[in-house]
Amino acid sequence: MTGGDEVRILRAGDRAAVAWKNGGGVTREIAAWPEGASMADFGWRASLAEVAADGPFSAFPGVDRTLTLAEGAGMDLTVAGERRLVDERYAPQEFPGDAPTDCRLLGGPVVNFNVMYRRDRVRARTAVVRGTLALAAAEGETLLLVALLGPAELDTGAGPGVGAGAGDGAGDGRGTGIGTGAAGGQVLLGPYDAARISGPATCLLRTRGHAAVVTLAARPGR
């Protein structure tokens, strides 16, 4: 999907708030592929969505969605006529992004971590972890790590370099990085900070809170 052996640090404070496709809420893009893709032509897109009122979700034809409740009491969703209760934090839930979806808030505003991907172009898996975890991105894979609760520490060891200086993670959510050949190291991810890792690469993730780990890869022939 992208050139390999690179880590980019994407700081939460550098993200711009953008109105939903249907105008019913606000989203902050963390990362997308291809870089610079619009809402109409992304292969995959990860974001944080702030939902402050009841109403419908935007429809995305040909897109699957993994939604993880990060803040708030949750939502009572109706997806294609079927009820889907989202009231447990840090528990990823999958549903089609092109199915009509209505939302009723259970107890005030929520923040959701969203991963959306074209089902015919991309494979995506989302897990929420805590503790210490060794991670590997194979050739052609991308790992996206997001600190959802509390800080997380990313240790790249002797692997790819890390771009983590001031100015990383511009408003487009892509940030900057240093490729193969730079010394590895440790980077602290604050709340909602993210790291985008292009394979082949390995790293160690530590957190006492909760961090999302998303594995993304283009489907064969794409």
Question: Given pLDDT bands bounded at 50, 70 and 90, which one contains residue 220?
Answer: confident
3-state percent helix, strand, coil for the chain, nearest multiple of 5: 0, 55, 45
Is 90 exceeded by the pLDDT of residue 46?
yes
Segment 146-159 shows an average pLDDT of 87
The reported pLDDT for the residue numbered 7 is 92
Top pLDDT among 161 and 83 is at: 83
Average pLDDT in the 150-163 region? 72
pLDDT for the residue 164: 41
pTM of the model: 0.86
pLDDT confidence of 6, banded at 50, 70, 90? Answer: confident
Looking at residue 58, its pLDDT comes to 87
CA 41, CA 10: separation in Å to the nearest integer?
22
pLDDT tens per residue across span 48-98: 999 999 999 989 999 999 999 999 999 999 999 999 999 999 999 999 999
Span 84-113, mean pLDDT?
A: 96
Q: What is the pLDDT of residue 184?
A: 55
22-36, 60-74, 84-98, 191-205: which range is least confident on average? 22-36
pLDDT, residue 3, reads 44
Cα 65 to Cα 62: distance, rounded to the nearest angstrom: 10
pLDDT tens digits along 131-149: 999 999 999 999 999 999 9
pLDDT of res. 117: 98
Taking the CA atoms of 154, 193, 216 and 71 in sequence, report the sign of the dihedral they define: positive
Average pLDDT, the chain: 86
